[in-house]
Amino acid sequence: MYTPRINWILLILFGMAAIGVFVAALLIPSFRAVAYAPLREILLPPPAPVIVTVLYSTEKQAWLEEVVPAFEQSGANVNGHPVKIQVEKMGSWEVTNAVLDGTRKPVLISPASMLQIAALQDTSTIQFGRSLVNPADTASCRAVLRTPLVLVAWKERADVLWGQQPGASLWPNIHDALVNPKGWAAFNQPDWGYIKFGHTDPLKSNSGYMTILLMTYGYYGKTSGLTAADILNNSDYQKWFLEIEASIGQFEHSTGPLMQKMIAYGPSTYDFVAVYESTAIEQAANAVGRYGELRVYYPPATLWSDHPFCILEAEWVTPDQRKAAALFLDYLTSKPVQEVALLKYGYRPIDSSIPLEQPGSPFERYAANGFRADLSFLPEVQVPPGSALNTLRDFWARNVSR
């Protein structure tokens, strides 16, 4: 049967186009999607993924375990290469230490707070002559979740110590109560023994570091302008600070175990502890029916754990990895992912359009336990320069660490 010449020409052109697409798909993975699907899967190798390694603080493990697979399944890619996220958890200060000593070379880091980012910026500049992070560049370094430091106490103990809400002199009052040799007898409760306060190890855990920073601000009665000299040159402050720390028998390495221990053993171990609001929300249901009512209280000046994700300014980070990490940051700050963080894990979203008091919100479920969505009545303390942050850590390490 005669086949018109035009058909042969079209067939040849189609064949050449198909071959061209396959060659392009081999050389340029972004062309893979337009290749003929059955042959593509047989003949074309899948493009190598762009791997983004992430060191992150342990508090957000459950949230990341949910959202990372969803991100990878969303089809995110860089020039046709799929993005693969590889995560490793450790303490917030361990994250920065691992980067500084070279034992880890991640693309992204996410400690619990910008406190660690500020300290890393200062230390890496001294150590390498340049900063490994750039917190001023919100495209590469930005907060993703928020949760303040709170005090969690057994209500009957808090009623005796500070009542409904701690006043401006909270930290001096806590000091005086902890160092009083009469313990609870000084408050007409001799059967309660000594007053027992707990926070985590500031060298390993961000919540412990936030606690000693708020304590220091509380001693000076200010919310900004803290300097290294305030820590090094004031013997009265040093004595006051060390007396508080001497009253604490053990410093847990992580915030979750500290809160779990309080709930498990009750006021025989801790009368009150300093933890994240999100940790208190996570454990609120577990405290019901154990040792009386467990309530959350907000210090007179607040400090936020804001969970920054920062792409490192390092020679081992490739341009494609930077692009892939930026896609991941955009995903983490998207509205659906932020809502999951609020409703399932008790974090305050960075996205201010998401209401905290909505159906299913923990701020509605646990309002009776003292959780407050609106903290606008509280001043926020300023993050000091890296030199002051590192000096406070060094002071604790030299004089308290055990």
As assigned by CATH, the class of the 50-143+308-346 domain is alpha beta
Note the pLDDT of residue 285.
81
Q: Which of 16-20, 24-28, 90-94 has the weakest average pLDDT?
A: 24-28
Average pLDDT over residues 326-335: 97
Question: Mean pLDDT throughout 277-281?
Answer: 94
Q: Where are the domains of the chain?
A: 5-43, 50-143+308-346, 147-305+359-399
Average pLDDT of the residues of the chain:
89
Find the range with the poorest average confidence among 30-34, 62-66, 190-194.
Answer: 30-34
- Is 70 exceeded by the pLDDT of residue 177? yes
pTM value is: 0.82
Nearest to 308 by CA among 70, 119, 76, 72: 119
Structure confidence by residue, pLDDT tens digits, 35-72: 445 544 455 567 899 999 999 998 899 999 999 999 99
User: Are 50-143+308-346 and 147-305+359-399 in the same CATH fold?
Assistant: yes
**Residue 401: its pLDDT value, please?**
81
pLDDT at 283 over 70: yes
Q: Can you give the pLDDT at residue 6?
A: 62
Q: How far is CA 16 from CA 13, 22, 302, in A?
A: 5, 10, 67
Residue 296: closest CA among 282, 306, 308: 282
Q: Is the pLDDT of residue 315 over 80?
A: yes
pLDDT given at position 25:
43
Q: Residue 74's pLDDT band (boundaries 50, 70, 90)?
A: very high
DSSP per position, 258-286: HHHHHHHHGGGT-SEEEEEHHHHHHHTGG
Lowest mean pLDDT among 43-57, 81-95, 184-198: 43-57
Please give the pLDDT value at position 16.
56
pLDDT at 156 over 80: yes
Look at residue 256 in the predicted model and tell me its pLDDT. 86
Q: Which CATH class is domain 147-305+359-399?
A: alpha beta
pLDDT band at residue 4, thresholds of 50, 70 and 90?
A: low
pLDDT at 188: 95
Which string of b and e fits 304-323 if b means at least 16 CB within 10 Å? bbbbbbbbbbeeebeeebbb
Express each pLDDT in 333-384 by its tens digit: 999 999 999 999 999 999 999 999 988 899 999 999 999 999 999 999 998 9
Tell me, what amino acid is at 100? L
- pLDDT tens sequence across 199-208: 999 998 999 9
Q: Is the pLDDT of residue 3 over 80?
A: no
pLDDT at position 287, please?
Answer: 78
Question: How many angstroms separate the CA atoms of 184 and 193, rounded?
Answer: 6
Q: Which amino acid is at 204?
A: K
Per-residue model confidence (pLDDT) at position 21: 45
Residue carrying the six token digits 């894990």 = 345
Cα–Cα distance for residue pair 38/186, rounded to 1 Å: 81
Tell me what pLDDT residue 24 has: 47
Look at residue 290 in the predicted model and tell me its pLDDT. Answer: 77
